[in-house]
Structure formats: structure tokens, C-alpha cells
Amino acid sequence: MSAFDQIALTKSVCKIVMAATGLAANKIIIGDINSPAPAGSYCAVRLDSPAQFGQAINSQRDVVATDDPQFKDIIATVATQFTLGFSLNFYRSGALMYAAAICEANKREPVKALLRTAKLGWSRVSPINNLTGLYQAAMEERAQLTLYLYGESIAEDRIQRIYRVGFSAQTEQSGAIAQGEVNGLSG
């Protein structure tokens, strides 16, 4: 991911949930967007706990300078690694079954393909929380788990090299002045 895009990441996880559970796309919603719940069984996906881990990967490469093609600029890249925790909340009939389908889903080919496309890595799944309880005078099945994925946020900066520097120096005793230029093209 070139930038930390919460909506794009959450949509990728919605596709993973769809592939793992068999729920229809319109039954998997992004949590916390204040929209009505779908009829029947559904899942709400929410990015809960992004956390940086490890050390950022730094790299540099030369590119043609923007101001003069005979010179080179540097593109400095910093790739920050993240663990992304997505809360998956399943509601109504089959909630526990759908939550269980997420466990080890990274072994399934459709999920592997989705992870590769989104440039995400599978870390782990938390234990399933059975939240079944009384809701509007009836028992409603509910389950929650957290899916942890690995991701990366990449930032690039252009650094312009200094190719020519003029200087002037004066001594304290004699007042002699030296002037000159350091030119990167002269070697």
C-alpha cells in the first residue's frame, strides 16, 4: 500500500471475509459508517488496531533530476511495516459458523490470491468471542474475532543533490580572500 488507506484496506478484508464465509458482498459491511444493518446474517468489518512493528526498510535510487537531465536526484523510500487488527463482527443465524470459517482461511486459494493482490500478509486470528444474547426479546447469535494482517506503508521523498557550490574564505591575519566553486561535474 503506497499510503495508509483505511477504506481500501477494509474493503480488501471484506473480500477476504466473502471468500472465506460465502456471505454475499451486500452482507459484509464496513463498520462504524452509520448505515442500516442488512436483513439476515451479516458481518461488520472495522480496522481496530493498526500498530507499527519492526524497523522501517530504507532504500534509495537515482532518478533523472527534474531541473536538468544531466544531473541525478535521489528518491528515498521508507517502508513502514504494520500489524493491522480488523474486528469482524458476525450477526444473526450462523454467526459462530461464519467466524469459525475465518480461522485458517489463509490456507485457501481464493484467500491467498486476495492477500497477494492487496499486498497483505496473514498473521493470526484471535479466539472467537461468542456474544450470543438476548436482543429485542429474542436470542440472537453473535460472534466476534480479530483478524491480524501484515501490511506496509510506503513514503517516498525526492532529494535534489547539490552539484555546484560557491565559496569565499578570508583569513584573520592577512585578510587574504580565496574564492572558488566546487562543481560536481568536474569530478
Where exactly are the structural domains of the chain?
6-186
Residue range 66-93, pLDDT digits in tens = 888 888 999 999 999 999 999 999 999 9
Residue range 100-140, pLDDT digits in tens = 999 999 999 999 999 999 999 999 999 999 998 756 667 78
Q: What is residue 185's predicted lDDT score, i.e. its pLDDT? A: 56
Can you give the pTM of this predicted structure?
Answer: 0.77
Residue range 21-44, pLDDT digits in tens = 999 999 999 987 777 889 999 999
Q: Which helix (H) or strand (E) holds 177?
A: strand 177-183
- Contact yes or no for 63/75 (Cβ under 8 A): yes
Q: What is residue 155's predicted lDDT score, i.e. its pLDDT? A: 92
- Contact yes or no for 88/99 (Cβ under 8 A): yes
Tell me the pLDDT band of 19, cut-offs 50, 70 and 90: very high
DSSP classification of residue 174: T
Look at 121 and 4; give whichever has higher pLDDT: 121
186 has pLDDT over 60: no
- In percent, how much of the chain has pLDDT > 90? 61
